[in-house]
Structure formats: C-alpha cells, structure tokens
Amino acid sequence: MTENTASSHKRRIKSFILRQGRYTRAQKNALDHHWKDYGIEFTDSFINFEQVFGRDAPVTLEIGFGNGDSLLQQAIEHPENNYVGIEVHGPGVGHLIHRICEKQLSNIRVIRFDAIDVLNKQIPDNSLDCLQLFFPDPWHKKKHNKRRIVQAAFLQLVRSKLKTGGRLHMATDWQHYAEQMLKLGDEADGFKNLSGIGQYTSNRSPRVETKFERRGLKLGHGIWDIKHEKTR
C-alpha cells in the first residue's frame, strides 16, 4: 500500500464496521479451499469480466451481500447473467462460497474488500448492467448519517461504472434512509427514476427476500425499493 493510498484510507469515512464473528466449519473450509475458485483478490487493476467468467454476459454487482442468499438465488434463477458480490464480513463470504460450491454455479464471484475502493480501482467504467445495494447499514442516529454509503458522490461513482441504460437498485427498511436515497437519486445527474420522480417502486424483482428484510418486517418497518436508470 502506498503512502498516498494509506492517507486516503484514513481520511475517508467508512460506511461499515468490520464485525467478523465466528466461522462455522463449512465457512472456514470454503474460504480455505475454494476462495481460489470463486474469489477475486483486491488489486489496483481493472477486472476483465469476460476473462474472469469465461464468457461475455451482463454483469450485476451487489454491494454488501450479507450471507449471500439473495445473490445466490439470483444467480440460480438467471444463469444468463454474471454476478459479483462485495462483502467485508468473513463468515458471510465463507457462507456464500460454500453455497456456490453446493450448487456448482459458475456465474458468481466474490470480492472481500471495501466497496468504494473496489469501485474506484477494480470496476471498469461503463461495465455494469446493474448495481444492487440492499439494506445497507442505516446509521440511524443523526450524528452518524454522514457514514451512510449513499451520498451524492457515491451515486456519481456508481453512474460512472454503469453502462448507459444500466440500473441502480436500492432497498432499505429505514424510512429516513429511503427518503434520502430517493431524493439523492432523483437529483443525481445522469439518472432517471424508473417509477417517476419522488416515487418508490412496487416491483422488487430481481431482489429476493433476505433475512434483513424479514427482520425489518418483524420490527414493523416498511420496505422501500428504489430503481434508477443511467441515462448518460
């Protein structure tokens, strides 16, 4: 790591706290023996998706996939697409790789690193067909709102990575965060709201229900999905 890179890491406010937790035997085994098959190491070089997957196909990138069950189901239901998931939580990464092995999937890969660094350093411009951000940490205390990943600069970074016509699909169970996502997305240059300005979408597809969504529903939270398309 260069001195400049190290300085930028110190300056930038992180949108997550690294909570590793305990690994199950299956998760540890997956990381130890199958990372080489499904993991993408973080480097300063752009990923060649066609080379990684051995084919040219639409690419969906999901940031913060948790335990990966939603992303896995999408990969099963849409074998015509390629999927890349970013997650810093080790047990979650191990869980997803374990499930990929069980299902013998070839259209999904995993990156275990800070999503902002990955977007800046590894994802080529105009390369993604869809970027998904489902139930990110809401940082619900007002003094912590600045830690939320969805900010104006983040949306422009995402726009640079999407193809024209590519989609940004966000979802949250925190109303205040949903309002922020919607407002910033509607105001962002080069995006249009697929449901109309100021509107959430009632169509969550291709997102499948996650444990975070179920937890939110049990707590009486609403669920808000927001879809924007890159226009230029």
Which domains are present in the chain? 57-230 (3.40.50.150)
Q: What percent of the chain has pLDDT over 90?
A: 80
pLDDT at 218: 87
pLDDT at 11: 53
Q: Report the chain's mean pLDDT, rounded to a whole number.
A: 91
More confident residue, 108 or 174: 108
Note the pTM of the prediction, 2 decimals. 0.89
pLDDT at 142: 77
Residue 58 and residue 131 in contact, taking contact as beta carbons nearer than 8 Å: no
pLDDT at 17: 56
pLDDT at 2: 41
Residue type, 128: L
pLDDT tens digit sequence for 2-35: 444 444 444 556 655 556 678 999 999 999 999 9
Average pLDDT estimate for 111-127? 98
pLDDT at 1: 39
More confident residue, 99 or 221: 99
Q: Which long-range contacts (CB under 8 A, 24 or more apart) does 193-199 make?
A: 193/226, 193/227, 193/228, 194/167, 194/227, 194/228, 194/229, 195/227
Average pLDDT estimate for 24-48? 97
Q: What percent of the chain has pLDDT over 70?
A: 91
Q: Which of 160, 221, 152, 231 is nearest to 193 (CA)?
A: 231
In angstroms, rounded to a whole number, what is the distance separating the alpha carbons of residues 85 and 96? 9
pLDDT at 19: 60
pLDDT at 147: 85
Active centre residues (catalytic): 137
pLDDT at 10: 46
pLDDT tens digit sequence for 171-220: 998 999 999 999 999 999 999 999 999 999 999 999 998 776 788 788 88
CA distances from 215 to 71, 113, 226 (A): 18, 26, 20
More confident residue, 9 or 69: 69
